[in-house]
Amino acid sequence: MSPLSIDQIFFIYFFLSLSLLSIGVIASRNIIHSAFFLLIFLLHVAAVFLFLNAEFLMAIQIIVYVGGVLALFIFAIMVMNIKDELKHRRFVKFAGSGFLVSLLFFAVFYVFLRNIRLETSKPLTSDTNMLGSLLYSYFLLPFEILSLVLLIALIAGILIAKKNPKEDR
Amino acid sequence: MKETLYVILITILKTALYFGILMLHVAYATYAERKIIGHIQLRLGPMVVGPHGLLQPIADIIKLIFKEDIIPSNVDKKIFTIAPLISLTAALSTFAVIPVSPQWFIADINVGILYVLGILGLGTYGIIFAGWSSNSKYAFLGGLRSVAQMISYEIALAMSIVGVIIMAESFNFIEIVNRQAQYPLGMFLFPQIIGYFVFLVAMLAETNRVPFDLPEAETELVAGYFVEYSGIRFSLFYLAEYLAMFCMSALATICFWGGWTIPPLLVKIFPFLSFVPPVLWFILKVYLHMFLFFWFRGTLPRYRYDQLMAIGWKVLIPLALLNIVLTSLIKYYL
Chain B residues within 8 A of A45 when measuring between CB atoms: none
Q: Is it the case that residue B280 has pLDDT exceeding 90?
A: no
Cβ contacts of B143 on chain A, cutoff 8 Å: 78
CB B79 within 8 A of CB B131: no
Instruction: Answer yes or no: is pLDDT of B279 > 70.
Output: yes
Do B258 and B191 form a contact (C-beta atoms < 8 A)?
no
**Taking every pair of C-alpha atoms in chain B, what is the biggest distance, in angstroms?**
66
| B158 and chain A in contact, CB less than 8 A | yes
Dihedrals φ, ψ of B104, to 5°?
A: -105, 95
**CA–CA dist B103, B278 (Å, integer):** 10
Question: Is the pLDDT confidence value at B115 over 70?
Answer: yes
Q: Using CB atoms, pick whichever of A60, A63, A126 lies closest to residue B121.
A: A63
Task: Give the distance from CA B112 to its chain's centroid.
Answer: 15
Q: Name the residue type at position B236.
A: L
Domain range annotation of chain A: 1-90, 127-163
Measure in Å the smallest separation between the Cα of A146 and chain B Cα atoms: 20
* 8 Å CB contact between B188 and B258: yes
Interval B217-253: pLDDT, tens: 666 667 777 777 877 888 888 888 899 899 999 999 8
B224 DSSP assignment: G
Residue pLDDT, tens place only, A130-159: 778 888 888 899 999 999 999 999 999 888
Q: Which positions in chain B touch A63 (Cβ < 8 Å)?
A: 114, 117-118, 121, 158
Q: Which letter does DSSP use for residue B101 in this model?
A: B
A38 contacts on B by Cβ (under 8 Å) = none
Q: Cβ separation of B147 and A71 shorter than 8 Å?
A: yes
pLDDT of A121 > 60? The answer is no
Q: Where are the beta strands (DSSP E) in B156-313?
A: none
pLDDT number for residue A81: 64
**What pLDDT is attached to residue A166?**
65
Q: According to the model, what pLDDT value does residue A83 have?
A: 65
Nearest-neighbour CA in chain A from B23: distance (Å)? 26
**Position A103 pLDDT exceeds 90:** yes
DSSP-based three-state secondary structure for A123: coil
- A31-51 helix and A6-27 helix, angle to the nearest 10 degrees: 160
Pair B139, B80: CB distance under 8 Å: no
Residue of A nearest to B123 (CA): A67
CA distance B111 to chain A (A): 6
Class of domain A1-90: mainly alpha
Residue of B110, B119, B128 lying closest to A62 (CB–CB): B119
Indicate the Cα dihedral angle B167, B171, B177, B181, nearest 10°: -30
Confidence of residue B151 (pLDDT cuts 50, 70, 90): confident
Q: Which residues of B touch A60 (CB under 8 A)?
A: 114
**For chain B, which residues make up each domain, given as ranges?**
67-333
Phi-psi region of B50 (alpha: psi -120 to 50; beta: other; left: phi over 0): left
Instruction: Confirm or reject contact between B132 and chain A (CB < 8 A).
Output: yes
The pLDDT confidence band at residue A101, using thresholds 50, 70 and 90, is very high
Q: What value does the mean pLDDT of chain B take?
A: 85
Closest CA to B236 of B23, B71, B34, B52: B23
Q: Rounded to whole angstroms, what are the CA distances from B55 to A87, B45, B327?
A: 54, 13, 48
What are the angstrom distances between the C-alpha of B221 and each of A132, B131, B328?
A: 46, 12, 44
